[in-house]
Amino acid sequence: MPKHLMNGYTIFRATNHCLHAKYVSFVIFVVILGLAATPSIVTAGTDVDNFQPVTNEMLLSAQDDADTWLMYGRDYRSWRYSELTQITTENVKKLVPKWAFQIGTEFDKFECTPLVVNGVMIITTPYSSIYAVDARTGKELWRYNYPLQDGLAICCGMVNRGAAILGDKIFWTTLDAHLLALDVKTGTVLWDRVVGDSTNAESLTVAPLVVKDKVIVGISGAEYGIRGFIDAYYAETGEQAWRFYTVPSKDEPGGDTWAGDSWMTGGGSAWVTGSYDPELNLVYWGTGNPAPDWNGAVRRGDNLYTDCIVALDADTGKLQWHFQATPHDVWDWDGVAGSFKPYSTDYRELRCKNSAANSPMKPST
């Protein structure tokens, strides 16, 4: 999407409530500054057939590209920060509607962070649908409605937080715990992998994270007593590359922080997308509450690795270190929001200090 368009657009959501209808409509509005007309805003089009594949190099430098939004957190640091300056506190009042894209869906929360690349906006919705639209006009390019079965056990909303992209593939998760790869030009499903067991209340609401040749996702369902995990799949084939359990078994490091067999239903969801440090080749991911949420008497101990930031080797999924914000959480505080890459004027020194043996960030043993 051209820089002058990215500078001029802001996105917000509205819900059309209707007390007597089963369905409501989510409307995505795009508004543009009512400034001097720019001819290219009118004449530029989106030819999805000429879509340029997204490379690993583009993902590594995503923070430097003002024309795109290539991943959930904008860049691998997950800062979600844009240096665009055209919209200011002085001229924001001049924003006027440019287009609206209405999505008919059953009522629920809308939590997607859209991707924008090559003038195409990728939008995911509640109840597992995904759309590609022309970001300049709001014209629908394609849609895919995933066939969800009834009776799913989903905590906290039938939501989806977004998609990921590599090459000409869009990666996207569904509420019944599938990971799909779709053709960015057509929305055709290229592969479909079962990540979790939806009959055991395992679900996926997370936006995937692409790291090198892998797609990483975290499971949801701790409120129903699942055993949480973070998975990686090969982007080309969908085959599983590795799995890290956020709740260790008795014979694994950290397993002694769970009384009896409580680890088997210990929770530890991982529903917020992590971040990645390419220099250290580490993925940082936050984990949620232990299960059951408020009854700690049946799960004595610190309950690792719930309410943690875990640092995982991106190639193998092996734990390198962890930091637990709330040992033995009985307040449902979670720890999913802390998985961002830190910043320091001497970042190497910061990492060294944080991974020292006497640091609260504990190396894996």
Contacts of 104 (CB under 8 A, 6+ apart): 23, 25
Question: For residues 278 and 342, is the Cβ–Cβ distance under 8 A?
Answer: no
- Beta-bridge partners for 339: none
Contacts of 358 (CB under 8 A, 6+ apart): none
Gyration radius (Cα) of the chain, Å: 21
The token duo for 200 is 């055991």
Question: For residue 343, what are the CA distances in angstroms to 82, 100, 348, 351?
Answer: 16, 38, 10, 10
CB atoms within 10 A of CB 243: 13
Which residue in 161, 145, 151, 181 sits closest to 108, CA to CA? Answer: 161
Q: Which residues are catalytic?
A: 332
- Beta-bridge partners for 129: 125, 145
- Cα 71 to the chain's mean position, in Å? 8
The token duo for 331 is 């307040």
Question: For residues 92 and 85, is the Cβ–Cβ distance under 8 A?
Answer: no
Residue linked to tokens 């092996």: 318
Question: For residue 44, what are the CA distances in angstroms to 162, 186, 210?
Answer: 26, 21, 30
